[in-house]
Structure 1
Amino acid sequence: MLQVSFIREHRDLVVERLAKRNLDATQMVDEAIQLDEERRAIQTELDNTLAESNSLSKEIGMLFKSGDVDKANALKTKTTDLKESSKSLSEQLATTSNALNELLYKIPNIPHESVPNGTSDEDNEEIFKEGAIPKLHDNALPHWELAKKYDIIDFELGNKIAGAGFPVYKNKGARLQRALIAYFLDKNTEAGYTEYQLPHLVNEASGFGTGQLPDKEGQMYHVTEDNLYLIPTAEVPGTNIFRDVILDQSELPVTITGYTPCFRREAGSYGAHVRGLNRLHQFDKVEIIRVEHPDNSYNAFNGMIEHVKTILNELKLPYRILKLCGGDVTFASALTYDFEVFSTAQDRWLEISSVSNFETFQANRLKLRFKNNEGKKELAHTLNGSSLALPRVLAGILENYQTEKGIKIPDVLIPYTGFSIID
C-alpha cells in the first residue's frame, strides 16, 4: 500500500508512474488526497475538542474545591456538549479513515522508473540469455507424453482424484520432484537463507498484508467456513512472519527460504499452452524472501537474480531473463524480472521464476518497520523470488534431457535422485 503522505507530496509522480500500468489513476489519487485532508481536519478538530474538554474538567474540579458550585455546574453542561461533539467527530474520523484505507488498498504499487512501457507480456524486455538449446532426436516428445511413456506422472489419475491441474507424481517422477525440492533448499541455505516450514493456509489479514487481497481473491482457493485461504505462494505466509514487527537496523537483512505446495484457481486457463505441467492448480515451489534496508534493496535484488542464475547454470537448462513491462508487472511489485526456460520439445519459453522488489508497498500494509541508527522507525523493503517453481523446471528437464534411450538426469541432481536416467 502506498503511503498517503507519499501520494500527497508526490501526486504527479504517482499518477505518471501508475500510467506505466496503463492505468489512469488521477481520480483515485485525488480522492485519496481529499479523504486524507478531511481525515486530518477531523482529527485536528477532535484533538482540539478533547483538549478543551480536558481543560474544562480540570477547571471544574478546582471550582468544586473552592466552593464555586454554580459556576462548576454551568461548565459541566458545556463539557457534556463537548463529549457529544467528540463522540460525533470520532465516528466521522473512523468513517473517513476506513474509506481512505479501502481506497488505498485498491491503488497498485508505482512501478520503478526502469520498468518499460507496455501493455502485455509481449512488451517485456529481454535482458539476458544463457545456454545452448539442445538438438533433440527425431522422435522427441513433449513432457506430458514422456510422463506417460515412462510412467512418472499421471495426469488422468489426478483428474479422477481432484480434477484437471492436480497431477500425481510417481516412481522416478516423484523422486525427481523430491530431489529438486531438496536441491533448491540446499542451494538457498548455502547462500545464507534460513529455512522455514510454513503454513499452507493463511487468514485474510495475511492476504491483505502481501497484496493478494483484494487484488487476486478470484485466483485463490477460499475456505469460507473458516475464512482461510490456501496459499498461492510461500511469499504470503513467509512475509507475514514480519507483520506488525519492528526490527532493529542491525537485524537487517532478514533472509528466509521455504518449500510449500501452492494453490491457484487459474480461472479461465484453457488451451494447448496449459497442457501437462505448464499450468496447474496445485504445484510445488521453493521461495526466497528478504527484508532489507531501503538503501540496500536493489543490491539485494541483483543478488537474488545472480543466485537464481547460478541454479539454472548448474542444471544446464537454456534460460532467459525478462524485465516485465508496466502492463505485466504485478499489483504489489515495483520491479519484477521473470526467468524463462526454453522447452525444446514445445519450442516455447516457459516461466519458471519471478524475482520482485516491492519496496515499501507490502511493508506499509504489514506495518513492518525497523529502527534506524538514530532510533527513528522506517518502513523496510520486502523482496521475494521463486528459487524455483518446480513444474516447468521439471518439464524443461524432461524435454531437454530426453534421449532415445531415456531421460538423463542433470549431473547436479544425481546425488539427490540416486539414479542417472529415467528409462
Structure 2
Amino acid sequence: MLQVALLRQDPEAVKRKLSIKNFQEISLVDEIIQLDDERKSTQARFDEVQSKINAASKNIGALMAQGKKQEADTLKAEITALKPTLEPIKARYTEIEDTLFNKLVLLPNLPQDEVPAGKSADDNEIVRQNGETLLPAGGNQPHWDLIQSYELVDFETGAKITGRGFPVYTGQGAKFQRALIQYFLDFNTEAGYREFIPPFMVNEASAFATGQLPDKEGQMYHVTEDNFYLIPTAEVPVTNIYRDVILQQEELPLKLTAYSPCFRREAGSFGKDVRGLNRVHQFEKVEIIQITHPDKSNEAFQQMVTHVEKLLQSLELPYRILRLCGADMSFTSAVTYDFEVFSGAQERWLEVSSVSNFETYQANRLKCRFKNEAGKTQLVHTLNGSSLALPRIVAALLENNQTPVGIRIPQVLRPYFGKELITK
C-alpha cells in the first residue's frame, strides 16, 4: 500500500508512474490528497476543542481555590457546551480515515524508473537469453504425450477426484516431482535461505498484507465457513511471519525459502497454451523471499535474479529473462523479471519464475518495520521469487530431454532421482 506522504510529495510524478501500469483511476490520487487535507483539518478542530476543555478544566480548580465560584461555574458551563461537539468531530474523522484507507488500497505499487511502458506482455523487454532454442534431437513430442506414454501424470483421475486442472502424479512422475522439490530447497538453503514449512491456508489479514486482497480475490480458493484462503504461493504465509514485527537493523536481510502446493482459480481456456501442465489449478512451487534494508533492496533483487539464473543453468535448460512492462506487472510489484524456459516440442517459451521487488508496498500493509541507527522505526523492503515453479519446469525438462531410450535426467538431479533416465 502506498503512503499518503509519497502521494503528497509529487502528485504529478505519482500519476505518471501509475499511467505506466495502465492504471485508469488516476483521479484517486487527488481524491486521497483532498481526504488527507480534510482529515488534518478535522483533527485540528478536535484538538482545538479538546484544548479549550482541558484549559477550562485546569482553570476551574484554581478559581475554586480562590473562592471565585461564579467564574468557575461559567467555565463548567462552557465545558458542558463543548463536550457534545467532540463526538461528531471524532465520528467524522473516523469516517474520513476509513474512506481514505479504502481508496489507498485501490492504488497499485509505483513502477521503478527502469520499468518500460507498454500495453501487454508483447512489450516486455528481453534482458538476456542463454541456450539454443532448437527442436529436441531425440524427438519432438509435447509433454502431454510424454506423460501419457511414460505414465507420469494422470489427469483423468485428478478430474474424477477433484476437477479439471488437478493432476495426479504417479510412479516416476511423483518421484521426479519430489526430486525437483528437494533439489530446489537444497540449492536455496546452501545459498543462505532459511527453510520454512508454512500453513497452506491463510486468513484474510494475511492475504491483504501481501496484496492478494482485494486485487486477486477471484483467483483464490476461499474456505467460506472459516474465511480462510488456500495460498496461491508460499510468499503469502512466509512473508506474514513478519507481520506486525519490528526488526533490528542488524537482523537484515532475512532470507527465507519454502515449498508449498499452490492453488489458483485461473480460468483456463482450451488450446495448446493450457494443455497438460501448462496451466493447472494446483501445482508445486519453491519460493525465495528477502526482507531487506531499503538501501539494499535493489542489490538483493539482482542477487535473487542471479540465484534463479544459476538454478536454471544447472538444469541445462535454454532460458531468457524478461523485464516486465508496466501493464504486465503485478499490482504489488515495483519491478519484476520473468524467467522463461524454451519448450522445444511446443516451440514456445514457458514462464517458470518471477522475481519481484515490492519495496515498501507490502511492508506498509504488513506493518513490518526495523529500527534504524537513529532508533527510529522505518519500513523494510520485501522481495520474492519462484525458485522454481514445477509444472512448466517439468514440461520443459521432459520435452527437451527426450531420447529414443527414455527421458534424460539432468546431471544435478540424478542423485535425487536415483537414475539417469525416466524409462517406460
TM normalised by structure 2 equals 0.97
Matches within 5 A, 1:23-422: 23-137=23-137, 139-267=139-267, 269-422=269-422
Report the Cα distance in structure 1 between the residues aligned to 2:11 and 2:136, rounded to whole angstroms: 55
The residue matched to 1:61 in structure 2 has which SS? helix
Q: Which moved more, 1:164-173 or 1:240-249?
A: 240-249
Distance 1:59 1:193, change over 3 A: same
Identity %: 57
Distance 1:189 1:175, change over 3 A: same
Amino acid at match of 1:170: T
Distance 1:212 1:269, change over 3 A: farther
Contact 1:321 1:338 in 2 (8 A): yes
Amino acid at match of 1:88: P
Distance 1:212 1:22, change over 3 A: same
Report the Cα distance in structure 2 between the residues aligned to 1:307 and 1:11, rounded to whole angstroms: 36
Distance 1:137 1:250, change over 3 A: closer
Per-residue deviation at 1:25? 4.1
The residue matched to 2:238 in structure 1 has which SS? helix
Report the Cα distance in structure 2 between the residues aligned to 1:305 and 1:42, rounded to whole angstroms: 47
Report the Cα distance in structure 1 between the residues aligned to 2:25 and 2:81, rounded to whole angstroms: 42
Per-residue deviation at 1:44? 1.4
Q: Which moved more, 1:313-322 or 1:127-136?
A: 127-136
- Unpaired runs of 5+ residues, structure 1, are none
Per-residue deviation at 1:66? 4.2
Report the Cα distance in structure 2 between the residues aligned to 1:359 and 1:26, rounded to whole angstroms: 21
The residue matched to 1:419 in structure 2 has which SS? coil
Per-residue deviation at 1:228? 1.0
Contact 1:263 1:281 in 2 (8 A): yes
The residue matched to 1:157 in structure 2 has which SS? helix
Per-residue deviation at 1:60? 2.3
Amino acid at match of 1:158: G
Contact 1:137 1:404 in 2 (8 A): no
Contact 2:268 2:279 in 1 (8 A): no
Amino acid at match of 2:51: A
Per-residue deviation at 1:70? 3.5
Q: Which moved more, 1:126-135 or 1:283-292?
A: 126-135
Distance 1:138 1:384, change over 3 A: closer
Amino acid at match of 1:148: Q
Amino acid at match of 1:103: K
Report the Cα distance in structure 1 between the residues aligned to 2:293 and 2:138, rounded to whole angstroms: 53
The residue matched to 1:303 in structure 2 has which SS? helix
Amino acid at match of 1:412: V
Q: Alpha carbon RMSD of aligned pairs, Å?
A: 1.3
The residue matched to 1:350 in structure 2 has which SS? strand
The residue matched to 1:126 in structure 2 has which SS? strand
Distance 1:275 1:268, change over 3 A: closer
Per-residue deviation at 1:302? 0.4
Contact 1:289 1:383 in 2 (8 A): yes
Per-residue deviation at 1:103? 0.3
Distance 1:74 1:373, change over 3 A: same
Report the Cα distance in structure 1 between the residues aligned to 2:368 and 2:95, rounded to whole angstroms: 25
Amino acid at match of 2:154: D
Distance 1:52 1:121, change over 3 A: same
Amino acid at match of 2:7: I
Per-residue deviation at 1:418? 1.1
Amino acid at match of 1:417: F
The residue matched to 1:387 in structure 2 has which SS? strand
Report the Cα distance in structure 2 between the residues aligned to 1:128 and 1:111, rounded to whole angstroms: 21
Report the Cα distance in structure 1 between the residues aligned to 2:213 and 2:421, rounded to whole angstroms: 43
Report the Cα distance in structure 2 between the residues aligned to 1:238 and 1:182, rounded to whole angstroms: 18
Contact 2:139 2:402 in 1 (8 A): no
Per-residue deviation at 1:43? 1.1
Per-residue deviation at 1:140? 2.7
Per-residue deviation at 1:420? 1.6
Q: Which moved more, 1:347-356 or 1:204-213?
A: 204-213
- Unpaired runs of 5+ residues, structure 2, are none
Distance 1:269 1:242, change over 3 A: farther
The residue matched to 1:241 in structure 2 has which SS? helix
Per-residue deviation at 1:134? 4.7
Contact 2:28 2:103 in 1 (8 A): yes
Amino acid at match of 2:212: Q
Amino acid at match of 1:159: A
Amino acid at match of 2:276: G
